[in-house]
């Protein structure tokens, strides 16, 4: 790993901060990184998971789902629990089983969202990512603000 590195007495060796390699580490730079739009959206979604009126097992399930930590077949194959050929969805649709497929795209299980949208009385096109779906479903436009916490 260090075979191409040559140490020299005339060059000062120092640590470099990956977020700002020119100015080194600063509290301000770290704060800006943590409050940037991408991380604040992720933090907002994470805050939506842990609501006190939601059963803990539901919050844990959603937390694992948003981090792709559910025991879906693609994750079990990656951890070498299942054989590579055993990747078919348990819904019988013939597609490989991933969290995105299982929750949003499966003909058997993903179609439940259509029924929920019909029950709530909205027409909605499901996003491609589970995090986007979770965020949009919890903040449905056109519905009263008090229903947002109910949908979360």
What are the residue boundaries of the structural domains of the chain, listed by start?
A: 50-151
pLDDT given at position 19:
62
Q: How far apart are CA 130 and CA 137, in angstroms?
A: 10
Percent of the chain with pLDDT over 70: 68
How far apart CA 113 and CA 125 sit, in angstroms, is 10
What's the pLDDT tens digit per position in 125-134?
777 777 777 7
Nearest to 65 by CA among 105, 98, 92, 106: 98
């Amino acid at each position: 790993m260090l075979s191409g590195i040559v140490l020299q007495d005339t060059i000062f060796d120092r640590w470099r901060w990956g977020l700002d390699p020119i100015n080194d580490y600063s509290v301000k730079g770290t704060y800006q990184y943590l409050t940037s739009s991408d991380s604040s959206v992720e933090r907002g979604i994470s805050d939506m998971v842990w609501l006190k009126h939601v059963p803990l097992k539901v919050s844990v399930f959603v937390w694992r789902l948003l981090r792709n930590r559910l025991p879906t077949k693609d994750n079990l194959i990656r951890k070498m629990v299942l054989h590579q050929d055993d990747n078919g969805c348990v819904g019988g649709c013939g597609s490989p089983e991933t969290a995105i497929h299982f929750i949003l795209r499966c003909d058997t299980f993903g179609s439940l969202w259509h029924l929920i949208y019909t029950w709530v009385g909205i027409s909605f096109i499901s996003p491609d990512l589970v995090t986007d779906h979770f965020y949009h479903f919890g903040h449905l436009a056109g519905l009263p603000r008090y229903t947002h916490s109910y949908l979360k």
